Amino acid sequence: MPIKVIIDTDIGEDIDDILVCAFALVSPEFDVLGITVTDCDVRARSRIARKLLNAVGRPEIPVGRGYARCMPASEREGKPNDGMSQTDLAPDETDLPPESPLAADELIARLAEQHPGEVSLITIGMTSNAAQALLRYPEGTAKLKQIVTNGGNFGPDRETSIGWNLRYDPVAAAVLARGPVSWVLLPENAMTAARPDQADVARLRASAEPLPRLLAQAIDLWTTNKRDAGPTPHLSDLNTFAWLLGGWLEAEPGRVSVTVRPHGEKGGLEVRPDPDGPHRLGRPVPSEKGPALRELLMSRLLAARP
């Protein structure tokens, strides 16, 4: 049976969000029940997510607008920030399916209630929506199977430190670490061996299908507008779906603690293996498996037809 997932994302900033969301939407292994967006200009992120759903022929999937600010703020409206690189993909509501009437946290809870014990919540942005859902809708979110997060720098080849997706909202990350739902934390460097190259980008540009054309446009906007954009896209967020697929990376039992520090300081992260720990700690994709995983993603994106 397909793996039921909700994708919680800051799509529209870094390039990997739209690429891996597209991968999940066109892969038969996944049943995407909903998409929720978070961080600053959530209206723009919602439009980009719905534009992507149009490109894959799935406009019926609900998109819930989430929290624009870190906890404990409860703001659902955020000002545009200079991290947004792909806003021009969907500058207005023209031809887009309507947004879900449910906000992100309630949408997460309701979908979990509809499929008790089956839904994995994938967080590939700051974890505010997930934490707010746990606190505001505890009965619904208790029915989640697990939360799988791309966040944190840890592993034998890297100093342990809090990663960007946890750093944006350390209070929310601490809620997940102490919460009742099983939490899988994957290192941000897990996908180093699976980075697309220039030939992969050229394959997207050469396609006449709607999805590759949209993704090529997103890559061009990211390259132009993102100040720290690299020469080719990265796939950091693909680690979450690679772990769910099985066989690409491993995770071991462990414990995660997140330190919340005064405003303006980034907080801290501690991870340690523990056979009796409540969390699971991911490992990087082995270098010999990276090219095959990258090609799996590319073949799915290029074959997609709405």
| pLDDT for residue 264 | 65
At 193, which amino acid appears? A
Which segments within 225-273 are labelled E, that is strand? Answer: 251-259, 268-273
| pLDDT for residue 78 | 81
pLDDT digits (tens, 9 = 90+) for 70-111: 998 888 888 777 679 999 999 999 999 999 999 999 999 999
Instruction: Sort 208 into a burial class: Cβ within 10 Å, 0-12 / 13-18 / 19+.
Output: exposed
Which of 19-33, 142-156, 228-242 has maximum average pLDDT?
19-33
Q: How many CB atoms sit inside 10 A of residue 263's CB?
A: 6
Q: How far apart are CA 195 and CA 183, in angstroms?
A: 26
Percentage of the residues of the chain whose pLDDT score is greater than 90? 86
Domains by residue range for the chain, with CATH: 3-303 (3.90.245.10)
Q: Does the structure show a pLDDT above 80 at 157?
A: no
The residue that leads in pLDDT, 152 or 24, is 24
Average pLDDT, stretch 31-51? 97
Q: How far apart are CA 278 and CA 180, in angstroms?
A: 9
Q: Give the Å distances, CA to CA, from 10 to 129, 206, 259.
A: 11, 27, 23
Average pLDDT, stretch 193-208? 93
Give the chain's mean pLDDT. 94
| pLDDT for residue 72 | 87
Average pLDDT, stretch 276-289? 94
| pLDDT for residue 266 | 74
Average pLDDT, stretch 167-188? 96
Residue ranges of alpha helices (H) inside the chain are: 16-26, 42-55, 104-114, 128-136, 138-141, 164-167, 170-178, 198-206, 210-225, 238-245, 290-303
The residue that leads in pLDDT, 80 or 69, is 69
**Phi and psi torsions of 297, nearest 5°:** -60, -50
Average pLDDT, stretch 144-165? 91
pTM above 0.95, yes or no: yes
The residue that leads in pLDDT, 78 or 66, is 66
Average pLDDT, stretch 52-58? 97
* Residue 258: strand, helix, or coil: strand
Q: Does the structure show a pLDDT above 90 at 151?
A: yes
